[in-house]
Structure 1
Amino acid sequence: MRVLLTGFEPFAGAATNPSWDVARAVAAAWSRPEEVHAVQLPCVFASAPEALADALATHDPDVVVALGLAPGRVGVTPERVAVNLADARIADNAGAQPRDAEVVPGGPAAYFTTLPVKAAVAAVHEAGLAASVSLTAGSYVCNATFYALQHATAGTGTRSGFVHVPDVGDGPGQMSARDLERAVTAVVRACLDHATDLAVVGGEVS
């Protein structure tokens, strides 16, 4: 089994992006038999899908977990739905700021994730960390990448989806970098161990 784990480069003037930092850390520390490959994506509407397509072609993954930063969220939030909308509050790293545009012209209005999001949340909870299922990935580069990913993998055997991670810190309610690594590792393991959410997790059907 091969896993592709992606994160974004820094954006909006930040020096780092926790989504890339944790993707790289999880891949480097992975100890199970599966292969986990980390790839950094540009925070650019036009080129992120192209970089993602290159990574899919290079690594031919069975599972793809794309990560992005959601400042202000408390825990890890697997996303359920990607929408065919690019509507940017701020410019991307190339200066583009699309408004009311389609990610894929003429594409379906939305795609659902094919990852077991409830099982992933349960696994993070079992690790003692915060997580919840999210119903919106926004309309910035994260959602555009999520949509492009689901469009590219639709009808294939590849299971794929998007997970937002919080900013890291040592303040009340914040995750440390180490805790975020533990949380994302739990997500990836759950995605490998549960093909769908129709599985028993913690004694209950998720």
Structure 2
Amino acid sequence: MGTKRVLLTGFGPFPGAETNVSWEGVKSLNKEEIENELDINLFQEQIEVRYGFVDGCVPKLWAKYQPDLTIHVGVKPGITTLALESQASREGYDRVDTAFSCPVEQKHSCDGPEVIRTELSLKELEEQFNKSSPVEELKAEVSIDAGKYVCEYTYYTSLVHGPHCPQRTLFIHIPVNSCPKQIALCLEHMVRICLQQLKRSS
């Protein structure tokens, strides 16, 4: 299989999440330990909660790291599970970001399909994760609603970036009151399962 390149991102603060546990969880991963255990190169990056920042940052991350697997992590109020987002939409971004701005005409800046879906098998990921979740009270669940905010905008940006990106891109929403160390354990397990999928499909 060779050494795979894995990019994990979390988000910076925004109103209601002054300490964003998505980034706290991502940065809590033990990079050296996970790289050795899974034979990967792991990259951890923070994304600002601004549509304009996403437009410039996400393509640069793909170009810089050329990841075999990208997992974006964000928080979502009102959930108690790890939401495996299955798709992202091009339109409907009517909520202002931390710079009090929205995309022009509430549409993504990239041309692309109205809806684009990940090609990772999320049902399989859900089942495998839930059989062996490292945090008993945290289970995974497939979702079709990524929220029409900077999270979904980021997901769309990655999915539409290139012809092979849907095969290796995932967005996970986590509860806003999550424990970063528990999220780190769950993310490590998610990466492990996704890499197994990639190995079978290669």
Provide Cα deviations, 1:36-83, integer angstroms capped at 9, x if missing partner.
111111110111131111111111111111111112110111111111
CA distance in 2, matches of 1:48, 1:145: 6
CA distance in 1, matches of 2:148, 2:157: 13
- Answering whether residue 147 of structure 2 is matched by residue 183 of structure 1, we say no
Say whether the 8 Å CA contact 2:120–2:167 is kept in structure 1: no
Match of 2:122 in 1: 117
CA distance in 1, matches of 2:16, 2:141: 28
C-alpha RMSD of the superposition: 2.4
Shift of residue 157, structure 1, vs aligned partner: 8.6
Number of residue pairs matched by the alignment: 191
> Larger relative contact order (C-alpha < 8 A, sep ≥ 6)?
2
- 1:108 pairs with one of 91, 105, 113: 113
In structure 2, the CA distance between the partners of 1:189 and 1:49, relative to structure 1 (3 Å rule), is farther
Match of 1:133 in 2: 142
Provide Cα deviations, 1:73-130, integer angstroms capped at 9, x if missing partner.
10111111111024233x2111113485211354210111122322322233121331
- Percent identity over the alignment is 27
CA distance in 2, matches of 1:35, 1:105: 29
In structure 2, the CA distance between the partners of 1:182 and 1:99, relative to structure 1 (3 Å rule), is same
Match of 1:66 in 2: 72
Provide Cα deviations, 1:124-174, integer angstroms capped at 9, x if missing partner.
312133110001111100111111111103346961121111122xxxxxx
What is the TM-score with the length of structure 1 in the denominator?
0.83
- Answering whether residue 101 of structure 2 is matched by residue 96 of structure 1, we say yes
SS in 1 for 2:142: coil
Unaligned runs of 5+ in 2: none
Alignment of 1:26-175 (within 5 A): 26=29, 28=31, 29-30=33-34, 31-89=37-95, 91-98=96-103, 101-104=106-109, 106-125=111-130, 126-127=132-133, 128=136, 129-155=138-164, 159-168=168-177, 175=178
Moved >6 Å (runs of 4+): none
